[in-house]
Structure 1
């Protein structure tokens, strides 16, 4: 009867959750125990049930009451004592439950005796039932917990945990999928903890593999376990990134953690852990991917939520305070706000205060506090006393270290930086020597495959240089160069860190005058440029990164010229310039030969290349930012992860292809000898390098050796001055040039002047005239080249392709000459027909791939828009299209299409680019300096962006005439990337492009277009239009316009901007 009464009361409790009901159930069960004889086989079960009731009562208590738990423990111990059977599953379960009670008692108290008693009982239970997955999982969880909290780590606990759970998984087949998922997750966590202890890679890989299996089981069979399993997988992937530096693991960690948060309510005990992990992951992501400020914002937002969700009594609170504090540490470095530093110190001080004195992480948090004091001193927000305190804390942390390898290295590394800072302040050589000793110890402790190794080697090099500067001991310099070289030549770790090391290697090898070392250092440096802007990034991110390092290539070429290594200068200029266009070109490499060798492999390469190209064009700003919802962020992160995985797959495919005989150099950087193989059969390519050290030109002609032409009168400073004067001159004349324009003029008179999107006011200051600009270009650049080539004026001049760098990319070299002196009048156009090419490779690529003779895609598509939204009207566009139509008709060209006004849409334009080999665009254009791939042409229904054109299937593209403003002008900060519409059209597949360097007068555009098509059509077969003579046609069209105009500056500004790109 009492048993039935207890069950009835329990049923009532489960429906009401009233504490009084569970108290009544306990009273009834205690009565049943009292009435049950000690020799009854039912007594152990009664005691077991009473223990479970006491345990439930404990969990319902609003305050911690150990007495209830002791009653539960006592009842279960009696149940075990009265269990007659030995080594039965029932006995194993009771020992397991008793162990679980001790483990639950340990959680709020952190009393080690409870954990040890629980583990001893779990072991006894596993010994009885080794195939029971739940019991083995509980043992593994408890052992892992003890390993994580032990000051002196004992890996034997983890050995037992992994062995027991592995054996249970091998022997037992669980009918409960959620149990299997939990067991696999526990096994994975144990492996990861052992990896933290011993640093063995197989544990890291085994842990991630087990956790992936756990996620797979949970997704299909145990959705309630999915959130916790994803959380564990995210943590393991984060650990893997810390060790191996594999970006895809960090991206995936962020993705799965965001998903786990979406599956977890905020009032769950797991939510704080998830937000803490997410904050740490974004903080790790911050230095890895060009330090985007949004990463820090995300890290602080998530970290703050984790701290807010955690009570001060929670043993995890110190870790979460510490993590948030380190975010503010980096925020201070970013913003230099004393409030950020104060918040950093306050958070970490609280973390240290809440950490028990015997906790293994206390030393680690003390080092974090020391780091904050140190960075405050470094930026003069703190005193030398704070630095001394940082050194004291650092030494104390190392002395009391838990001997975890990772923490030891981190603490030692930090202490080394404190000593270096004090040396810089006091010049006490003992401090710099101690710093070097500590850093050498860090290098010894760092494994050969640790992702932190490149940074630590670089830091050692920098410290050794400081010692060399102080002592002039040459051994320090030699060791420093060796450290920089070792860092730069590693194949793992953040590319940006390795690039910094390579540049420092270059600097000090140059100071030593070691030619071989200089060449080797620059070889690595230029190679690392492409790694720094890897395919796993969007094009926008790559361009932003390149703004910081794009001049490195010019410095490398300058050094090569100085060492008379013309071959290296050409190779480095090709490898290190127009990196994004080169990457796109590689993704579009024809695969005919590979298809003949291995059709399936070629198909995989083609599929991944197309997917990578599409991924690179995506716009992360659509969903990104701190204000976006977590669901939006998760979607964005999934796209990012897929992008990174595609880049990784691409690298793997390249390795496979290059392992095939005959394909060893597939998509590798081109050697100078190969560059010369596909030059145009007539004409000369002139590469001009403008660097701070020197300026040089190289003339390349088919079948001839390169001719080096030092430009001794030219300097980077002079070229910049000329470019600045031209910019000012254009502003003075109300002409749009680049994105950085001030004083916008919205008056109607200004609007009717040009095809600029934003006409500008004219400043009153005086600058060089257009004649001065062109004369300086003639004297400093063109004349020395003409003389070296022994060119003569001719009525039938040959071709020159100009490939300038630095400030020269913004200057009209093609129009160089002396125009104001009747006795000295000489112009480049008398000697050559000029074209431009972003790189040698972009030109040779066109030469290699012959013009297709596809009649279905022949002819010309014309798109014109005279009125667009609030932009100035362009009445000349209609006259322009009529003039072109007349020329087409008079030369028998029947294949053409015209789209004006509301018919000039983005979709129609793209369709006709695919259907016609030639395109003529007469409209407004805009260059987006922040995101060059969003530059484009303003059509009736919006902007046709460059990214859309590049992604289109333009198999037979031939000629594009861009009758719009600034279509060959890029961002000055990206002068080596040629991020303008003309280069973009070349990348999209056009063999030749007519473009403009600045906004063109609307009234002259129809004349240039008419003359151009008349010359082009007159030079070829009647009824046929192709761009093979486009450069010559533009040359003649401009000459004809010049003859109609006077020699005023305004007239020159009307014809000078027209340029030709391509073959």
Structure 2
């Protein structure tokens, strides 16, 4: 008993010595003989667990077998002796891999349970042990029913164990381990979440000096590592490494678990290297794997897996360094030491063939030796052949095989390889189980293969599959922040798909994909805020629950991402995990409720992506909507016109993705230089001279010739109309960062100005067509409400960079609005706190913000407005539910810039205001000039107040905001002319929404 607490081998040796003397002095047939044999067997087994000596478990097994043989039928001590015999057999199997021992262990554990009366205090222990045996059997055979039995027995064991019982930590650990193994098999994210939850609790409840704590820490580390492989969350892998390092530090030299601890830590370092590329990580991984292999006894059943992991780490280092000795060693470890030593039928055999194939592939990439890629394909085929149907990694194996066929196709141009790749990709993509990210990449590969083969209809099927998987990759069980990260690697997928649909004339499909694949985060947010009035008439309880779960899920998804630091306690980790798990459960319930709603006959299309016919039937009457797709192979526009049955396709022959990207870079360069020039000029105290270079002239001219004029011609505009209509632009790729609304021929040196877009139409921007259609529906309810304006002035929110014209701007607007009988709430400086602003936004339908703003370069959700007590971030804005929201004027810099890596998501402050409920927004593409901003704002409101006076209306009409901005920019052009400097004054202003 003292040995169990301290791990002192001297104690267990003394115990065995006394027990051996006791057995030697006990006569044959004595009634205490079975008990003494059982005790000495238990001592040998405990020492085996500490030392791993095969002789100890062999002797233990002999004593336990003899103890059971000598125990009479009906003896109340029979269950405990059967249990101990089962445990000895299980430990013997773990050392030798003899499946017969494992089968016998299960039988003895089962019989022990059968003989134990209900309510017996040892029942939880026996259930736990039987669960362990079933789990080991699953690990040997891969039979999912054995794993289900293991989880069932572990759950019963935990359920019957009282709080505070010393066995509870180990039983929680075993239950968590069972869930982690089922996650490996099925890929169900709920399983890995449950595993982490139970294992964290196990560690929290275990005394720090308990000998079993290293194993518990190691199991928790492995579960975090498994989740990291799905999510790529570096917090998970960092904490996993911390737990593995601690487990290794607590394991004494010579302990039989030492090789396992080294192996697990090596795996974590290797996986982190794959994510970060830090060579120190892969060097540490190889060092730990090599030591693990060296310390694992010959014949040990875990020896092949440890060689396999060493081979993986060597392959990873080869990818970074190109050292052929690494890849040759990796192939040897995978082939001779892992695959050949793994018993036939072992459930890990498919993954080992896959890893061997990966090593051959890596060498082929270096040497171009076709025998290597042929070997890789053969081994990957074995992985696919041996993996059971329904296995979570089947999509990984099939996707990997498709990749190999494509690699060889690119080398040999053999059409058969491309066809084989397409088949593998298709099977991976359409498999119901598996990681959504892998399946999506497979669908994309399938589409590219079909393009190569000229099978364009199949290509559309592949892209349709890929787009259906996008919401699963960035699913509602993640925070908005994580969903943005998930979308980074597939940001141009939708543009690829649209280009292919337009190439073959599927205009309606292209339109539907425009809506389905873009601005996913905003679409999800709108879905969570969907009114359910009609549903309530059919099923009031379902509608009520759907609303409640939607609200809770939106709140959870828009929270700041929780993270663990390297020194966070297990209690702090549990708190973070509880929030993650609660969010996951909400998302699951929301999906179940959505299926229940769609099962009702009138709601089969509830929250499904809109069809083209539905979109075309709801368009505004006062101007077209133009969607522009910028893709590396082609650029196209789809014009949607009220009353037309089909979208109008306009191929932009003279514009390319490369040109759009070049113009975007030129604009950035020009703006940077202009800022420096202005600063230098001001420092010298001189007037700003008009520069002769044509930076912005050139950009706006290129946009006119390449994009805008071909579209206007396609719409039938041959000359400026007498009455200008609206036009709504929906842009993709690098074009989303360019001022389409300012396109035209400007040159201050010519007497007659050239044509420009504002001669023909009044421009607005929208994130998606659906956004505009939703605003149109809501407009009818808002146009009767009284105009109430929140005027926010924050000139000194950043003390080092005050805004000179802000006070003038806001006081002029305040005076004008009050003269026009418009109710205004004005907040200046200290009054403009985040909480006060948020409160006033709830009751004031209009807001005018004059403040500093910034677009965060890498995390768009951290973009925001600077207020007196901090930054009002985009994430906080989109949390708002503002039923009275109507219009926002953002007199600040960079409020509609967005994230270059997520151009399809419109992740900027102006779009955030639309998402919060505002019908329309005036925003800026880049920094605005403080000396002219007040006048532009004054002219904007003067236009709206003038129309209010003419019509005799009681309110400002936000539907005329685009015309008001157009009027304000025309007046500034009249004052300043069309010099480069003048263009920089008004071109950054844009209108979004209705």
Cα distance change of structure 1 residues 424 and 798 upon mapping to structure 2, 3 Å threshold: closer
Q: Do the aligned partners of 1:92 and 1:129 also contact (CA within 8 Å) in 2?
A: no
8 Å CA contact retained: 1:795, 1:830? no
Aligned partner of 1:454 in structure 2 is 395
64-73 or 594-603, which deviates more = 64-73
Q: In the alignment, what sits opposite 1:625? A: 565
In structure 1, distance between residues paired with 2:764 and 2:398: 46
Tell me, yes or no, if structure 1 residue 636 matches structure 2 residue 593. no
In the alignment, structure 1 residue 251 sits paired with structure 2 residue 177:
no
Find the counterpart in structure 2 of residue 1042 from structure 1. 973
Alignment gaps of 5+ in structure 2: none
What's 1:903 paired with?
831
Per the alignment, residue 585 of structure 1 pairs with: 526
- Is the 1:751–1:873 contact (alpha carbons within 8 Å) kept by the matching residues of 2? no
Residues 969 and 380 of structure 1: is their aligned pair in 2 closer, same or farther, counting only changes over 3 Å?
closer
Q: In the TM superposition, what is the alpha-carbon distance from 1:752 to its structure 2 partner?
A: 15
Q: What CA distance in whole angstroms lies between the structure 1 residues aligned with 2:992 and 2:291? A: 63
- Equivalent of 1:551, from 484, 492, 495? 492
Spell out, residue by residue over 1:327-368, the C-alpha distance to the aligned partner (whole angstroms, 9 max, x if none). Answer: 233344445555444433322221112111121111121222
Partner of 2:65: 120
Counterpart among 925, 938, 954 of residue 997 in structure 1: 925
User: Does structure 1 residue 100 correspond to structure 2 residue 42?
Assistant: yes
> Counterpart of 1:513?
454
Q: Does 1:271 align with 2:213?
A: yes
User: Which SS does the other structure have where 1:888 is aligned?
Assistant: helix
Q: Does the CA-based 8 Å contact 2:61-2:85 persist in structure 1?
A: no
Cα separation, partners in 2 of 1:537 and 1:871, compared to 1, 3 Å: farther
SS at match of 2:790: strand
**338, 343, 353: which one pairs with 1:397?**
338
How far, CA to CA, are the matches of 2:19 and 2:364 in structure 1?
Answer: 62
TM-score normalised over the length of structure 1: 0.86
Cross-structure match for 2:799: 870
The residue that corresponds to 1:758 in the other structure is: none
1:826 corresponds in structure 2 to: 755
Q: In structure 2, do the counterparts of structure 1 residues 747 and 345 end up closer, same or farther at CA, with 3 Å as the change threshold?
A: farther
Q: For the structure 1 residues 903 and 424, does the alpha-carbon distance in structure 2 shift closer, same or farther, using more than 3 Å as the test? A: closer
- Per mean C-alpha deviation after superposition, the further-off stretch among 1007-1016 and 777-786 is 1007-1016
In 2: Cα distance, 1:976 partner to 1:363 partner: 46
Offset of residue 317 of structure 1: 0.9
Structure 1 residues 188-337: aligned runs within 5 Å: 188-218=131-161, 220-289=162-231, 291-334=232-275, 336=277
Residue in 2 that maps onto 1:973: 901
Aligned to 1:653: 593
1:490-522: per-residue Cα shift (whole Å, max 9, x none)? 232222222222222222211111112211111
- The aligned residue for residue 1062 of structure 1 is 993
SS where residue 847 of structure 2 aligns? Answer: strand
> How far is 1:135 from its partner?
5.3
Q: Quick one: distance in 2 between partners of 1:58 and 1:918?
A: 69
Tell me how far apart the structure 1 counterparts of residues 930 and 728 of structure 2 sit (CA, whole Å).
28
Corresponding position: 1:925 with 2:856: no
Q: Does 1:695 align with 2:635?
A: yes
8 A Cα contact 2:134 2:147, kept in partner: yes
CA deviation after TM superposition for structure 1 residue 550, in Å = 0.5
- Give the direction of change, closer, same or farther, for the CA distance of 1:61–1:325 in structure 2 (3 Å limit): closer
For 2:847 and 2:501, how far apart are their aligned partners in 1? 41
Secondary structure at 1:63 match in 2: helix
Q: Could you tell me which residue of structure 2 aligns to residue 774 of structure 1?
A: 700
Is 2:177–2:219's contact at 8 Å kept on the other side of the alignment? yes
Structure 2 residue 876 is matched with structure 1 residue 959: no
Partner of 2:97: 151
For residues 300-379 of structure 1, the aligned pairs below 5 Å read 300-334=241-275, 336=277, 338-379=279-320
Q: Does residue 955 of structure 2 align to residue 1024 of structure 1?
A: yes
**Correspondence for 1:816 among 743, 747, 770:** 743
Shift of 1:273: 0.8
Q: Distance in 2 between matches of 1:528 and 1:475?
A: 28
What's the offset of the Cα at 1:990? 0.8
Query: What is the SS of the residue equivalent to 1:852?
Result: helix
Tell me: CA distance 1:901–1:96, structure 2 relative to 1, closer, same or farther (3 Å).
Answer: same
Structure 1 residue 952: Cα displacement: 2.1
Matched with 2:808 is: 879
User: How far 1:993 sits from its partner (Å)?
Assistant: 0.9
- TM value normalised by structure 2: 0.92
Change in CA separation of 1:333 and 1:750 when aligned onto 2, cut-off 3 Å: farther
Tell me how far 1:523 sits from its aligned partner.
Answer: 1.0
Measured at CA, do residues 1007 and 763 of structure 1 come closer, stay the same or move farther in structure 2, by a change above 3 Å?
closer
What residue in structure 1 maps to residue 425 of structure 2?
Answer: 484
Change (3 A) 1:166 1:588: farther
Choose 384-393 or 536-545, whichever is displaced more: 384-393
* Match in the other structure for 1:164: 111
Give the 3 Å change call, closer, same or farther, for CA 132–1049 of structure 1 in structure 2. Answer: farther
Q: CA deviation at 1:269?
A: 0.9
Counterparts of residues 397-796 of structure 1 (less than 5 Å): 397-403=338-344, 405-424=346-365, 428-469=369-410, 472-620=413-561, 623-704=563-644, 705-734=646-675, 768-791=694-717, 792-796=719-723
Question: Offset at 1:600?
Answer: 2.0
Taking only aligned residues, the RMSD between alpha carbons, in angstroms, comes to 3.2
8 Å CA contact retained: 1:918, 1:959: yes
| CA displacement 1:685-706 (0-9 Å, x = unmatched) | 0000111101000100122121
1:798 aligns with 2:744: no
8 Å CA contact 2:765, 2:991 repeated in 1: yes
- Equivalent position to 1:186, from 129, 133, 142: 129
Counterpart CA distance in 2 for 1:597 and 1:356 is: 68
Deviation at 1:92, TM superposition (A): 7.6
Q: Measure, in 2, the Cα distance between the counterparts of 1:732 and 1:470.
A: 46
CA pair 252-191 structure 1, distance change in 2 beyond 3 A: same
**Residue 644 of structure 1: how far off its partner (Å):** 2.2
